Amino acid sequence: MLENSDEEGRRLVLGVARSANDNSWRERLSAAESRSAMAIAQLHGLPDVLARVLAARGVSQDDAPEFLEPSLKSLMPDPSSLKDMDAAVTRLADALQAGKKVAIFGDYDVDGATSSAVLAKYLQWLGQDPVIHIPDRIIEGYGPNGPAIEHLRQSGAELLVTLDCGSTSFEAFETARKLNLDVVVIDHHQVGEDLPDVIALVNPNRQDDLSGQGHLAAVGVTFLFLVGLNRELRRRGAFDGRQQPDLMALLDLVALGTVCDVVPLQGLNRAYVTRGLTVMHQRRNYGLTALADVARVNGKPVPYHLGFLIGPRINAGGRIGDAALGARLLTTEDPHEARSIAERLDLLNSERQAMEAQMLEEAGAQASLMIDSRDPAVLLTGSDDWHPGIVGLIAARLKEAHRRPAFAIAYDASGKGTGSGRSIPGVDLGRTVREAVENGLLEKGGGHTMAAGLTVHRANTDDLESFFNESLKKDVEEATKNREIKIDAALTATGASLDLLELLEKAGPYGAGHSEPVFAFPAHRVSFADVVGKGHVRATLNSGDGSPLKAICFKADDKPHGKMLLEGRGRNLHVAGTLSIDTWQGTPKVQLRILDVADPQKVRH
């Protein structure tokens, strides 16, 4: 199976140096990791496939047992290790004990909605009735703003807690200060040295925070905040003679926000998601349950369901509808209201998909012209006719199609553009956007390593493209010089069993920073292949002994690997992909999601 080592000792799999999608297939494990996998298997009596998956993801032989049973107790830091956490906890505890009204200001994405819901449900358990404000993406834009703060103050709020935003809201918090409204910020976005003047700003990515928790989503930081708050209230005797809030019951929301914000599923995040998926399966939250039902989530929830079925429907409210719908859905205690909101979000998501398809066609044409004419390191596309709530999705599609960072920008009549960008591993987009702001090319901007937002005037777009190319050209070239798929192991259709998936689940959940295992299926016969749905290719593969494996190749009927499958009926092909359980019609079956295909007659030997 394995031959032709590269400089890191990672060998070609099945000799595939150039697949249908122009990838080489490389063994994920280096020579050293292969030795570690062998040691893990022998020391702990684990199957070889599981040991390989663990070793390839940096798990040592000593850490393997704890990794397979991630524990919140062992992985959770002391909340006080985060800068300003104690000040934030003290201020909210004081407000609660004094009966002061608390207002919550959250971002309009899933991380913001879940963060807001987590805090709101905790406060509701304590008898509070907090007001939640989620800004309109189009009218208000990202983050706290003066008019919203004035409205919250007029409604009686005496403490404002911002979630998943606020680290750079200088002007808005100056308004709060003038109104004598105290502010606590809970955030996770990258930020410079200058910070707004607030009671407390808890952000593990602020430069003076030494907690090492910068990988957390905002909802993960919010949960740590509640752990600290709960501890402080308990110390003050607030729970004497009464039951404490059940923090563990909130982990379904924490898992949802963590997965949808695409933060690394490592360390505490992995424990959050593992435990949160279990809570979600118990269907305690009316809103999550209703949304899972309308999204037709079958069986035990997995990160895929959160990231691709549930999350996009919550985001649809913030993109093209009512931004507050997500937080309302996740906090409601009325199952009828939950069903009504879930159905509305499902409808909005369908409308969003139609708008996205139209925008993507135009953006794709722009990107192709740019690549043909000047081959930029970063793609900047834009239009006067695009919906600003969907530009992030377009940027993500362009990034995937062209394997380079991409921005999509929606311009208004004045030439002001609202844009969103997505990056590739190894290219820090958030840092570069902040540098563009400092250089006067953007009105505002910021974000993460892998995603960023910006506001730019059309007149500055050419200069901005030049700046991005100058800043990121080398990083992009380095990140894209080797087109490859990393393979964890070779399997046959016979070996792709439910027992194997149950075994692999122990090393999950998989997602950003903890990639799903990819398997190669050598020379399997394509006994069936056809186009289904919106451009998907469905296939049946058979191993040498005739055992079948159902497979699906999403949105691939016009892609090289999809075409090779359709043209390969009756032939043997090498196939690479990930395994999942399909519970359609109630009977669980193994399904292969095909990522790439290669012709055995054209590989290098």
- Measured CA to CA in angstroms, residue 520 lies from 22, 224, 242, 493 at distances of 16, 40, 56, 10
pLDDT at 2 over 50: no
CA dihedral of residues 299, 303, 304, 307 (deg, nearest 10): 130
Average pLDDT over residues 568-597: 90
DSSP code string of 179-232:
TT-EEEEE--S---S-----SEEE-TTSTT--SS-TT--HHHHHHHHHHHHHHH
362 C-beta neighbours (distance < 10 Å), count: 16
- Measured CA to CA in angstroms, residue 182 lies from 67, 94, 333, 456 at distances of 41, 12, 29, 32
* Three-state SS at 532: strand
Which residue would you say has higher pLDDT here, 4 or 559? 559
Average pLDDT over residues 154-180: 96
Average pLDDT over residues 284-309: 93
DSSP code string of 59-95:
--TTTHHHHHS--HHHHPPPGGGSTTHHHHHHHHHHH
pLDDT at 188 over 50: yes
Cα angle 156-162-167, degrees, rounded to a multiple of 5 = 135
Mean pLDDT of the chain: 93
Q: In the 8-state DSSP scheme, what is residue 247?
A: G
Whether residue 436 contacts residue 453, with contact meaning beta carbons closer than 8 Å, is answered with no
pLDDT at 593 over 80: yes
pLDDT at 4 over 60: no
Cα angle 351-115-353, degrees, rounded to a multiple of 5 = 10
Average pLDDT over residues 393-409: 95
Q: Could you check whether the bond before residue 509 is cis, i.e. omega within 30 degrees of 0?
A: yes
DSSP code string of 273-324:
HHHHHHHHHTT--HHHHHHHHHTT--SS--HHIIIIIIHHHHHHHHHHS-TT
pLDDT at 9 over 60: no
- The C-alpha atoms of residue 366 and residue 353 are separated, in whole angstroms, by 20
- With a CB cutoff of 8 Å and minimum separation 6, the contacts of 68 are 54, 506, 507
Closest Cα to residue 113, out of 330, 292, 296, 414?
A: 330
Average pLDDT over residues 82-91: 98
Whether residue 182 contacts residue 166, with contact meaning beta carbons closer than 8 Å, is answered with no
Q: What is the pLDDT of residues 258-290, one digit of tens each?
A: 999 989 899 999 999 999 999 999 999 999 999
Closest Cα to residue 54, out of 383, 517, 451?
A: 517
- pLDDT value at residue 511: 86
Q: What is the pLDDT of residues 196-245, one digit of tens each?
A: 999 999 999 999 999 999 999 999 999 999 999 999 999 999 999 899 99
Q: Which of 8-17, 166-175, 541-550 has the lowest mean pLDDT?
A: 8-17
- With a CB cutoff of 8 Å and minimum separation 6, the contacts of 551 are 538, 539, 540, 541, 575, 577, 591, 592, 593, 594
For residue 493, the number of C-alpha atoms closer than 13 Å in the C-beta half-sphere is 23
- pLDDT value at residue 320: 87
Q: What is the pLDDT of residues 42-77, one digit of tens each?
A: 999 999 999 999 999 999 999 999 899 888 999 999
- pLDDT value at residue 1: 41
- The C-alpha atoms of residue 71 and residue 271 are separated, in whole angstroms, by 6
- pLDDT value at residue 7: 43
> Band of the pLDDT at 584, cuts 50, 70, 90?
low
- The size of the chain, in residues, is 605
Q: In the 8-state DSSP scheme, what is residue 547?
A: -
Which domains are seen in the chain, by residue range? Answer: 2-28+484-602 (2.40.50.140), 74-346 (3.90.1640.30), 374-480 (3.10.310.30)
- With a CB cutoff of 8 Å and minimum separation 6, the contacts of 456 are 409, 416, 417, 419, 441, 442, 443, 445, 464
Question: Whole-model pTM?
Answer: 0.87
Residue bearing tokens 């971002």: 107
- pLDDT value at residue 49: 92
pLDDT at 26 over 60: yes
Q: What is the pLDDT of residues 496-554, one digit of tens each?
A: 999 999 889 989 898 888 899 999 999 999 999 999 998 999 999 999 999 999 999 99
Q: What is the pLDDT of residues 315-332, one digit of tens each?
A: 999 888 899 999 999 999
Average pLDDT over residues 11-29: 93
pLDDT at 598 over 60: yes
